[in-house]
Amino acid sequence: MIYAPSDLWLRVPARPENVAVVRQALTGICEALAAEAKVVADVKLAVTEACTNVVVHAYGEDAKAPSIEVEAHPGVDGLSVVVRDHGRGILPRAESKGLGLGLPLIAALTRNVEIRRASEELGGTEVVMAFALDETAIEWNEGGG
């Protein structure tokens, strides 16, 4: 029998060093759910990209206590992960740094993704990602590049 872990709720300061903290927590959940190793790898990457977007884009420099909120909800057919901020949102901007690969990567690695306003009251954005536990959203190329 596989033990089903409780839902995860995590809030950490939106700082670069904390992206790994979230990644490790999600890895633990996936392993407890006996997810395929390739699924675990894709969850780690997608969640990392979502958290990085929060750290890099969501808050202005004058934000008070910027945070990343993460929820993980294991279900019978997969895992739902929500990455939320209460900043100015993570939608792409003209002055954005980086490659702009974060959201396309998330879209490629998830079975479904929804990006929406986190709260009418607090603002911010939430990225809701759905993963199957037994297969990845796109096939792995075993042969490599």
Partner 1 sequence: MNTQQIVVDRTEAGVSVVVVHGEHDVYTAPSLREQLTALVEDGSPVVVDLTPATFIDSSILGVLLGGLRRAREHESGFALVIGDASEPTVRRIFEVTGLFPVFPVFPSREEAERVALANGSE
Site string for partner 1, 28-67 (x = CB under 8 A): ----------x--xx-xx--xx--x--xx-----------
Is 11 an interacting residue with respect to partner 1 (CB under 8 A)? no
Tell me how far, at minimum, the Cβ of 51 lies from partner 1, in Å.
8
- For partner 1, the closer of residues 1 and 99 by Cβ is 99
Amino acid at 45: L
- For partner 1, the closer of residues 52 and 80 by Cβ is 52
Report the site for partner 1 in 111-130 (rule: CB under 8 A). Answer: none
Taking the C-alpha atoms of residue 99 and residue 52, their distance in angstroms, rounded to an integer, is 12
Number of residues that bind partner 1 (CB under 8 A): 28
Is 68 an interacting residue with respect to partner 1 (CB under 8 A)? no
Taking the C-alpha atoms of residue 85 and residue 119, their distance in angstroms, rounded to an integer, is 9
51, 56, 109, 140 from 13: Cα distances, Å: 11, 12, 25, 33
Spell out the residues 6+ positions from residue 56 whose beta carbon is closer than 8 angstroms to its own.
97, 98
Spell out the residues 6+ positions from residue 125 whose beta carbon is closer than 8 angstroms to its own.
58, 84, 85, 87, 89, 90, 91, 115, 116, 117, 118
- 5 burial via Cβ count (<10 Å: 0-12, 13-18, 19+): middle
Site string for partner 1, 71-110 (x = CB under 8 A): ---------------------------xx-xx-xx--xx-
Contacts with partner 1 by CB under 8 A lie at: 16-17, 19-20, 23, 38, 41-42, 44-45, 48-49, 52, 55-56, 98-99, 101-102, 104-105, 108-109, 138, 140-141, 144-145
